[in-house]
Amino acid sequence: MEETKKTAILIPCYNESKTIENVIRDYQAVMPHAKIYVYDNNSSDGTDEIARKAGATVRYEYRQGKGNVVRSMFREIDADCYIMTDGDDTYPAEFALELEKQIYSKQADMAIGDRLSSTYFTENKRPFHNIGNVLVRKLINILFKASVKDIMTGSRGFTKEFVKSFPVTSKGFEIETEMTIFALDNNFKIVEVPIEYRDRPEGSESKLNTYSDGYKVLKTIGTLFRDTKPYAFFSIISLFLLVVGGAFFVPILLNYLETGTVARYPTLIVITSLGIIAIISYFCGVILEVLKKQHRHNFERNLNLLNELWQKNDDKS
């Protein structure tokens, strides 16, 4: 790593007083060149004071939710490499060095700490979390034709380009899913690094609600699928409506061919309406796909301009 390069360790925290000091000490030992930022999200157990005494720079985000914290971190911190981890001491610090290496060697725009390929399923004692991770992974890989192994890990490395171009819209734990889909949709380079995972120490409780947060993640996937792949999304709706309409239309058609009369006019009217809606839905998808491609072109153009501006600033300094 070049001496002029700046690495920032970002740790979003909510009531992690039992573990935050150990997390900070581990990163200080493994990555002494990096600056550690702890963003306190309305903790009531003195997490911020413990982090400050341990040597971290402490900042605050008063809007509750991990997505809100990530938004503030990405907006406020300026660095060349960003390493994000959790304050619950579940991700060993030594693996962050490999994430950092992937970023500085330009192998990745987002380096993912892959828990699911190592110790996650044996260490994590919450079976519904395990099932949810597998379900989300399969769903995203099918919808976005990808092969990402760990969608929801909290251990990640980012380039400056990724951080400053990522529009955070999630408020809670669905933020990791949003990051992954954003990277896939915008053709950012993703590298997965197998890392060890250890369950929370005794007395440390997870803030993740399996059912409500799981619902939010699935809702986020659906929303982002609609926004990033509108042609596929609305084509599926059109096909569904046509299949339903066809199932009701066939008996009416057979009856007409047999008797020469239409027996169920109300049903035929509903079927016709479904057909019209299906056609409208399909062409909405076509129009939105064109707009999406235009947005993609603008995004790439603006990203290139940002890179040129940063390069000029680096040359001056």
Q: Yes or no: say if 67 and 152 are a contact pair by the CB < 8 Å rule.
A: no
Across the range 120-138, mean pLDDT stands at: 69
Confidence at residue 215, expressed as pLDDT on a 0 to 100 scale: 82
Average pLDDT over residues 243-260: 89
Q: Is residue 150 within 8 Å of 112, Cβ to Cβ?
A: yes
Q: Give the whole-angstrom CA distance, residue 95 versus residue 25.
A: 15
pLDDT of residue 224 exceeding 90, the answer is: no
CB 154 within 8 A of CB 176: yes
pLDDT at 275: 94
| Residue 220 in this model has a pLDDT that exceeds 70 | yes
Core vs surface per residue 77-100: b (16+ CB within 10 A) or e: bebbbbbbbbbbbbbbbebbeebb
What is the arrangement of strands in the sheet containing 190-194, beginning at the earlier edge strand? 57-60, 35-40, 7-13, 81-84, 156-159, 110-114, 190-194
**Could you tell me how far CA 58 lies from the centroid of its own chain?**
24
pLDDT at 262: 80
pLDDT of 120 reads: 67
- Interatomic CA distance for residues 45 and 96, integer angstroms: 27
With bands split at pLDDT 50, 70 and 90, how would you rate the model's confidence at 121? Answer: low
Give the lowest-confidence range in 35-39, 124-128, 194-198: 124-128
**What value does the mean pLDDT take over residues 68-79?**
95
Residue with tokens 């040359």: 315
**Of the candidate ranges 103-107, 188-192, 216-220, the one whose mean pLDDT is the lowest:** 216-220
Residue type, 101: K
Higher pLDDT, 110 or 257: 110
Is 312 a residue whose pLDDT tops 70?
Answer: yes
* Residues 201-207, mean pLDDT to the nearest whole number: 63
Q: How confident is the model at residue 111 (pLDDT cuts 50, 70, 90)?
A: very high
Between 102-106, 205-209, 241-245, 294-298, the lowest mean confidence (pLDDT) is in 205-209
